Amino acid sequence: MALKGTLKDFGIADILQLIGQQQKTGALVLTQKQDTVAVTFKDGNIVRAETTSRNRKDLIGSMLVAASLVTEQQLEFALETQKRTLQRLGDVLVSQGVLTEQKFKSMVQLQTSETLFKLFAWKAGTYEFEQKDVETENTLTPLRAESVLMEGFRRVDEWPVVRKRITSLQMTFEKLKELPPEELKKDDFDAALDDAFAEEKKSVNKGEFKSVGENERICYNLIAVGRTVQRIIELSALGEFETAKALCNLINLEYARGVPPAGKGGDDFESEGRTSAVMGVIGRIAVTMVVVGALLFVGTRIDFGAMKLGGSNATTYTDPAAQRFASQQQMSRVSAAIDLFKLEKGSLPLGLNELVEVELLSADDLHFPWREPYFYRRGEDGTYVLLPPLR
């Protein structure tokens, strides 16, 4: 399977979804101006994401220093040791007792996530996916492409709310009152009992930034005189979005007050602003167009080796094998729409026509490539059955 093209023709969301659905193993290289990002896949899961950006703050060593997990001197010594021994930086730091293996893994996970989500802000560039064997490391927990996409959609939904409160990376904060004490950890039975009688409360608070969680407590403890959003992001090791959201929650709940930077200066959330603009356009399209590339060149035979994205979708198929293949991809598309409907509405649709009413799918999508519609039935336990029509 060889994919190559421009991001204007085929967006990053579509590319990730295609590779994930096809469960491919290989390397995806994306290039924009002077920046190059390499994303490694294993059976459709992301196992590595690295950037060759010249921006020093994106390097794992710089992230560790910024988070005050290691000092500049400790990092320099570790890098010198790495050159001599050819060991990985994480192994060197752990063996020197500078930080734990778990802490290093969590920072690598954060670096990978931040690298991936910044890709969604790219308006132009090129991509090339090469299917090949790859080496995997235990440093990073594999990420499902679908999970990365859903997280991207969540950020698109919530960033506008966050940006109303957190307007600049140079904003500082003032504590207004103490946080309430943490609740005692409940056993599984007590937690389940509380959940059973708290549905109304959970539905009201859902997505309204009205809860004090672990992230809020971390960020609250990092608030200090003159300490900026940028510095709290670095120290919290939560990532830009999660830190900004936690700070937004603290302001909404009146535990802290934001102090705008003097004058207009300060770096705004430019990357995430562009993410919202780009993802706002392609987000819904990406969910409702699963494996678009796989439908472009469906004929009597499918040749992925010669596949190149771009062109128009076929609308009719005479080969039964092609029909079955197209149907499998279309069912994945319908399933993705059902999942998004549940995410937005809180419940499964009663029928597939509801997906058309909320413009997640078109009427033709409910039966393509067949004449008859797909069979759908919602279960009582939150599951559903989706089957092709009887032939």
Environment class of 175 (CB within 10 Å of its CB; exposed 0-12, middle 13-18, buried 19+): middle
Task: Give residue 128's pLDDT.
Answer: 92
- Region of poorest pLDDT, from 6-20, 145-159, 304-318: 304-318
Tokens standing for 57?
A: 């703050």
214-248 CB burial, b ≥16 within 10 A, e <16: ebbebbbebbeeeebbbbbbbbbbbbbbbbbbbbb
* Summary mean pLDDT of the chain: 78
- 179 vs 220: CA distance, rounded Å: 8
Give the domain ranges of the chain: 2-153, 167-268, 317-387
Helices (H) and strands (E) in the chain, counts: 15, 10
Tokens standing for 291?
A: 């494996």
If you search the block for the tokens 């596949």, which residue do you land on?
A: 307
Q: Provide the CB-side half-sphere exposure for 58 (13 A, CA).
A: 16
In this predicted structure, the answer to whether residue 240 has a pLDDT above a threshold of 90 is: yes
- 14 vs 285: CA distance, rounded Å: 9
If you search the block for the tokens 């971390």, which residue do you land on?
A: 218
- 16 vs 19: CA distance, rounded Å: 5
pLDDT (tens digit per residue) in 94-142? 999 999 999 999 998 898 888 888 887 787 899 999 999 888 776 678 8
- Contacts of residue 102, Cβ cutoff 8 Å, sequence gap at least 6: none
Q: What is the dihedral of CA 178, 180, 184, 187, to 10 degrees?
A: -130
- 109 vs 142: CA distance, rounded Å: 9
> Any idea what DSSP says for residue 171?
-
Q: Residue 220 — pLDDT band, cuts 50, 70, 90?
A: very high
- 120 vs 12: CA distance, rounded Å: 6
In this predicted structure, the answer to whether residue 235 has a pLDDT above a threshold of 50 is: yes
Mean pLDDT of 178-204: 58
Task: Give residue 57's pLDDT.
Answer: 63
Which regions of the chain does DSSP assign to beta strands (E)?
2-6, 26-32, 35-42, 45-51, 126-131, 143-144, 172-175, 256-259, 375-378, 384-387
Ramachandran region, residue 301 (left: φ > 0; alpha: ψ -120 to 50; beta: rest): beta
In this predicted structure, the answer to whether residue 320 has a pLDDT above a threshold of 90 is: no
Q: Is 334:355 a contact under the CB 8 Å cutoff?
A: yes
Q: What is the dihedral of CA 52, 54, 57, 59, to 10 degrees?
A: 30
Pairing of strands 35-42, 143-144: unpaired
